[in-house]
Amino acid sequence: MIDIFDDTYFMKKALIEAEEAYRLGEIPVGAIVVSENQVIGRGYNLTEQLIDVTAHAEIQAITAASNFLGAKFLTNCTLYVTLEPCQMCAGALYWSRVSRVVFAAEDIKRGYRAMGAKLHPKTQITTGVLEGEASNLLKSFFAEKRR
């Protein structure tokens, strides 16, 4: 039997969020929070729309998931995001105590690892899930901006 609820399945959902950001002229990063195979939070970058530098996809998804659960901690939850979280988002993930983070593309210049930030010590990390798709979306966006 094939388990449709794997990392690829959920990362595809995060990519749908990233595509919506692209459509709006935002940097195409999307995120979802999953608990017990159910999407309980979703978000995409809204920094331009909201004129708010903190309106990253991860922050939007964390807030939605916390509202869904009625709790500030996201233990037993997984965040799927199309780009490695930045230092600010790593801090939010740390404080939310999310159990697992799965990201697609690395951000070698501004990702939390390059900046020396850390996630919660109990947070498990998986990288590279649908990396090509996420990277291509970002490359297309920035190529279009340069035209």
Active site (catalytic) residues: 58
Cα distances (Å, whole numbers) of residue 103 to 11, 69, 79, 115, 121: 8, 23, 8, 16, 17
Chain center to CA of 11? 9
> How many CB atoms are located within 10 Å of the residue 34 CB?
25
The response to whether 120 counts as a known ligand-binding position is no
The response to whether 56 counts as a known ligand-binding position is yes
The response to whether 86 counts as a known ligand-binding position is yes
Binding residues for Zn(2+): 56, 86, 89
Binding residues: 56, 86, 89
